[in-house]
Homo-oligomer: A and B are copies of this chain.
Amino acid sequence: MKLRLKFFLISFSIIIYAYGQDTDRKIQFPDLPEYLTLKADLHIHTVFSDGSVWPNIRVEEAVMDGLDAISLTEHLEYQPHKDDIPHPDRNRSFIIASEIAKPHDLLIIHGAEITRSMPPGHANALFIQDANQLIIEDPIQAYEEANRQGAFVFWNHPDWIRQREDGVAKMTDMHQILIDRKLLHGIEVVNDMTYSEEALKISIDEQIVPLGTSDIHGLVDYQYRIAQGGHRPITLIFAKERTVEGIKEALFDGRCIAWFDNLLVGREEWLKKLINSSLTFEFDDYIGPTSVLKVKVTNSSDAAYLLKNNSVFSFQMNSDVIEVQPHSTKTLHVRVLEQKREIELDFEILNAIISRNVHPNMKFKVSQN
């Protein structure tokens, strides 16, 4: 039977909720002097693989989180909804999201997840041209095809307990081949709720790029308890321009770090640059005739900085472990012993990590201007 539906008017009565207006949840990190700091979630699922939402929700969540870019990386080989969604084109979620994102200031990166048992496990290919071409039985051929399309390819959740029973990321011969042949360019040191220090070690030893992603299947708000102040794990990317090309260039150059819980993970160079942009130390004044100096520390980032004092000085209002809350200014009262016009403070940054149990050490000059 055929339905004639004349004058059919469907659209939501009144859209009340203007999404993107809740500024509290927007993730905020400062730019570097020479690069923009872009916030990206590069591992996401929708109903077009095993996720639970239509692509528009991924756009909506990303706008609310203040992200610059997302990639909907549907499993190529794992399609549990295929009875209901048999569409043969594996670019569908990218196409739909791109259309929906148009009125928003959000970049959609074309991606897909090459989904195999271990080795090589799962990997994401970003900046691809056509996901359908990646459906190749031989895994190495799939990586080759991704690279032919110009993709940045990274190893997903190498610590995943369904593929690694001890939760420990380990290299295999196949990974060595992929890396040596420059077919694999990055590795997740953070995936969803997990952080892998062994993956971080692999990224250092093999000189591949460390990344953090959500791998979200359900709702970001539920999984990361946004209402309680949580945030999804993302990759902070230091780009020359706010475009898909800019992100691609930055990733291939390794200019990024992972942001997870209250942890910043990655290469020392980029962590220190971000910390230098996030924290500013200002010489305020000595308290009256004393030699106790007020130093104002301003944190312009979402990270709660946890500083361990390695300076020669002690502080009058703090022990050697100091927390500087996100987007706040804290005044340190430094016992300088005698009034000077410049001092140097020396901290270990406990909420940043560059390798197993190793945190960056940073010196900050504080001068009277």
Binding site for B on A (CB under 8 A): 1-14, 16-17, 19, 47-48, 50-54, 56-57, 60, 64, 75, 77-78, 80-81, 83-87, 92, 115-117, 135-137, 157, 159-163, 165-168, 191-198, 215, 217-219, 221-223, 225-227, 261-263, 265, 287-292, 306, 308-309, 314-321, 323, 333, 335-338, 350-351, 353, 356-357
Given A14-B161, A54-B52, A316-B195, also A117-B9 (CB < 8 A) = yes
Q: Give the complex CA separation of A320 and B160 in angstroms.
A: 19
Which of A50, A75, A261, A321 has most B Cβ within 10 Å? A321
Contact B219 A320 (CB under 8 A): no
> Roughly how many angstroms separate A50 CA and B54 CA in the complex, as a whole number?
10
The answer to whether A3 and B194 touch (CB under 8 A), given A13-B162, A335-B168, is: no
Provide the residues of chain B in CB contact with A159, threshold 8 Å: 316
Chain B residues near A336: list those with CB within 8 A.
Answer: 166
Copy number in this complex? 4
A interface secondary structure, majority? loop
Q: How far is the CA of A191 from the CA of B287 in the complex (A)?
A: 18
Report the separation of the CA atoms of residues A12 and B75 in the bound assembly, to the nearest whole angstrom. 13
Q: Is the CB of B54 within 8 A of A53?
A: yes
Residues in chain B near residue A194, CB distance under 8 A: 13-14, 316-317, 333
Which 10 A-B pairs give the minimum distances between C-beta atoms? Answer: A227-B227, A7-B117, A52-B54, A161-B290, A9-B162, A167-B292, A165-B290, A166-B291, A320-B357, A167-B335
Contact between B52 and A53 (Cβ–Cβ < 8 Å)?
yes
